[in-house]
């Protein structure tokens, strides 16, 4: 089990942990009924905070931010000597958590995506992990929630007796959701990116070689070129430039250089 604390990567606090440590912390929080807001950040997710002082505040006030992408893992190793050998990929982490939740009798709630995807997700996960208790599911409304809707949603999730809440709303909406709901719910809340689509069978996992080379983004790009080409062309270039600036001490990102959100965005 690896937990070497958090390191500053482009102004975002990222935890140098492995799968075992992340699962241990999240399951432990679920059984204790305490908050553990979590996000799995690859380059794009990291850059949403690096380039936005307000969103960086949210990311830096989550309880656990794991290095989802190989470049983020490399950055932790180079900048902070983390010695990590592997990433903590959101879909894989979600699967490991569901397996451990099934073994320990911890129920789960899925929030986000579409009703059709959620049904496929539940069917596949229950088949894969017999005994998994799905306390509830709710699709995204694909718009901002009113304050009353947000409170109603939190109450429904709380009433379901779920131990872990998985949020699949896309980046950065799901991180906003985890940050906001973390103030309303005493349970782990995971922003897990494309995990819903992976486990529903709608996306294929990256071949191991591409993953080890840090080219998971390229595999995603081939699958969804129209939606992702601009993200990866611009965002990856910005990441490289800012990483080298930090590494060469041309720029020292300050974790406290953030802006508190003036009001809730209430994504859903």
In a domain, 220, yes or no: no
Residue 266 included in any domain: no
In a domain, 248, yes or no: no
On whether residue 45 sits in a domain, the answer given is yes
In a domain, 79, yes or no: yes
Give the pLDDT of residue 129: 96
Phi/psi at 83 (5° precision):
70, 25
pLDDT in tens, the chain (268 residues): 999 999 999 999 999 999 999 999 999 999 999 999 999 999 999 999 999 999 999 999 999 999 998 999 999 999 999 999 999 999 999 999 999 999 999 999 999 999 999 999 999 999 999 999 999 999 998 888 888 989 999 999 999 999 999 999 999 999 999 999 999 999 999 998 789 998 988 776 666 655 565 566 565 656 666 666 666 678 889 999 999 999 999 999 999 999 999 766 766 7
- With beta carbons less than 8 A apart as the criterion, state whether 60 and 37 touch: no
* b/e sequence 188-215, b meaning 16+ C-beta within 10 Å: bbbbbbbbbbbbbeebeebeeeebeebe
116 lies in some domain = yes
**141 assigned to some structural domain:** yes
Domain limits at 76? 3-199
Write down the H helix ranges in the chain.
19-32, 43-50, 53-60, 70-80, 90-104, 115-128, 147-159, 173-181, 195-199, 208-212, 216-223, 225-247
Output the pLDDT for position 193: 75
| pLDDT recorded at residue 220 | 61
Residues paired with 110 in a beta bridge: 137, 166
| Number of structural domains the chain divides into | 1
Q: Given this model, what pLDDT does residue 208 score?
A: 64
- 73's tokens: 């893992």
Stated pTM of the model:
0.89
Q: Looking at the domain assignment, is residue 175 inside a domain?
A: yes
């Amino acid at each position: 089990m690896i937990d070497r604390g958090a390191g500053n990567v482009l102004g975002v606090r990222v935890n140098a942990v492995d799968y075992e440590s992340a699962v241990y912390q999240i399951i432990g929080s679920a059984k204790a009924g305490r908050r553990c807001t979590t996000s799995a950040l690859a380059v794009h997710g990291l850059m949403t905070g690096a380039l936005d002082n307000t969103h960086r505040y949210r990311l830096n006030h989550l309880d656990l931010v794991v290095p989802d992408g190989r470049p983020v893992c490399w950055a932790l190793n180079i900048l902070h000597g983390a010695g990590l050998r592997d990433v903590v990929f959101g879909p894989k982490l979600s699967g490991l958590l569901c397996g451990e939740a099934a073994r320990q009798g911890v129920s789960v709630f899925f929030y986000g995506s579409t009703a059709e995807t959620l049904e496929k997700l539940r069917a596949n996960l229950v088949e894969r992990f017999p005994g998994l208790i799905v306390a509830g599911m709710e699709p995204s409304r694909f718009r901002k929630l009113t304050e009353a809707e947000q409170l109603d949603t939190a109450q429904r999730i709380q009433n379901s007796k779920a131990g872990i809440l998985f949020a699949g709303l896309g980046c950065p909406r799901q991180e906003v959701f985890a940050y906001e709901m973390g103030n309303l719910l005493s349970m782990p809340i995971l922003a897990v990116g494309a995990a819903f689509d992976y486990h529903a069978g709608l996306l294929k996992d990256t071949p191991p070689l591409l993953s080890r080379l840090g080219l998971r983004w390229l595999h995603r790009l081939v699958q969804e070129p129209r939606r992702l080409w601009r993200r990866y062309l611009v965002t990856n270039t910005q990441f490289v430039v800012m990483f080298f600036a930090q590494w060469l001490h041309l720029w020292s990102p300050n974790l406290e250089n953030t802006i508190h959100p003036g009001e809730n965005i209430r994504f859903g």
